[in-house]
Amino acid sequence: MNTPLAEALSVVLLVAVLAWAVVRPKGLPEAALAVPAAAVVIATGAISLDHARAEAASLGPVVGFLAAVLVLAHFCDVEGLFTACGAWMARRAAGSPGRLLVAVFVLASVITAVLSLDATVVLLTPVVLATAARAGVRARPHLYACAHLSNTASLLLPVSNLTNLLAFGASGLSFTRFAALMALPWLVAIAAEYLVLRRFFSDDLTLSVPSPEPGGAPRLPLFALITVACTLAGFVVASTVGVDPAWVAAAGALVLAARALVRRKATPVSVVRAASPAFLAFVLALGIVVRAVVDNGLADALGHALPGGEGFPALLAIAALAAVLANLINNLPAVLVLLPLAAPSGPGAVLAVLLGVNIGPNLTYAGSLATLLWRRIVHHHGHDVELGEFSRLGLLATPAALVPAVAALWLSLQVVG
């Protein structure tokens, strides 16, 4: 296939795959179009078979890790971890919408960093909805906190987000150095999000409501907490000895899944379903379609626009470009496109890309898969999310979090090295 035709075909297919993921006609999974689209770009020669195999091989460990984390988070929920989180939020709030927002920020930030953004979207969001209803407060500020923090609070660890895993591999950093460099940007971005949401929903957060009757505190799921703590420690050890984090995540998931199977709280089918095979197929297929777009000219165009170096102006420009691209083509394709271009400039440039693709998607629904999933979950629970309100909040929160986070990254690079 000649280059102009291959470029046009790959771009059209990428747009179609992303549009399908946003709309999901008749509730069909994202993979229903992504897998055939990947087959088409291979069959027509828009991407060579060797490049398709290389892309699948590079994404294989990332997809394996994602599957393991999804299973780990699901069985943490089975153990009662998120029920305990809801009870803690209710006690901490004591009927105050402002205190509930603080509690949501704390839990969503920690859960996103440790169990990945999917746990915040899929498991914490319904708990927050139920907690707000029991407390008699308006749910909007707390729902938007879950959406924004599923993206912004995923900056801290290599395992917090699929985009982080890709950036971790491209950066050449160890697990601990990655976390050390991203700790300050993570804190700064979360603080900025809190200030913006507090101001934006000031009317909802100043309503006076009676304090609910205290209920019995559920049992703290110590086994799940110990398993998660051991898994995190395993990530650090694995990084020092060169073991892929997917194996550590798989070990943690296997422990909790085996416990649930033995106690008859799960079946082999439910374990497989928890890994979301259709979504994993979507990620692999999307990577192949994006690689076809990159091979057919997008990399050359972005290569001219992406600045080099790791000074503050360069890092800010890289992060801004990544944020814009994430909202145009989704953050996962954006990071796949930009990482090979940023990596030669050093780990600082790679992490700036990560800031852009993790914070930037708060601007639009289509910016990240997590936001799309969050919207479906909110609608499923009977709450409407207005596009205008989402966009207005995003226009305020995204630059307010992105610019100071880039400054914090630049400072971390000077201190940590």
> Quick check: 157 and 117 in contact, CB under 8 A?
no
**364 near 329, Cβ under 8 Å?**
no
**Helices 331-342/277-293 angle, 10° precision:** 50
Q: Chain-wide mean pLDDT for the chain?
A: 88
Closest to 30 measured CA to CA, from 308, 336, 373, 320: 373
Distance CA 402, CA 397 (A): 8
Give the single-character DSSP code of 362.
G
Could you give the C-alpha distances from 409 to 182, 186, 269, 360, 386, in angstroms and in order? 7, 9, 43, 16, 33
d(CA 158, CA 382): 34
CA distance 180 to 81: 27
Q: What is the pLDDT of residue 270?
A: 93
172: Cα separation from own chain's centroid: 21
Across 177-189, b (16+ Cβ under 10 Å) vs e yields ebbebbbbbbbbb
The pTM (predicted TM-score) of the whole model is: 0.83
Place of tokens 């707390």: 142
Which residues, at least 6 apart from 276, have a Cβ–Cβ distance to it below 8 Å?
67, 70
Q: What is the pLDDT of residue 157?
A: 92
CB atoms within 10 A of CB 302: 18
Chain position carrying tokens 């897998």: 35
Going from the C-alpha of 98 to that of each of 57, 90, 184, 195, 198, the distances in angstroms are 47, 12, 24, 12, 8
Question: Which helix (H) or strand (E) element contains residue 98?
Answer: helix 97-115
| Residue 164: closest CA among 226, 123, 112 | 112
pLDDT < 70 stretches in the chain: 1-2, 208-218
State both tokens at 377: 């979950």
Task: Please return the burial class of 371, using the count of CB atoms within 10 Å of its CB with bins 0-12, 13-18 and 19+.
Answer: buried
Cα 130 to Cα 116: distance, rounded to the nearest angstrom: 21
The predicted pLDDT at position 307 comes to: 84
The pLDDT score that the predictor gives to residue 59 is 84
| Residue carrying structure tokens 């697990």 | 175
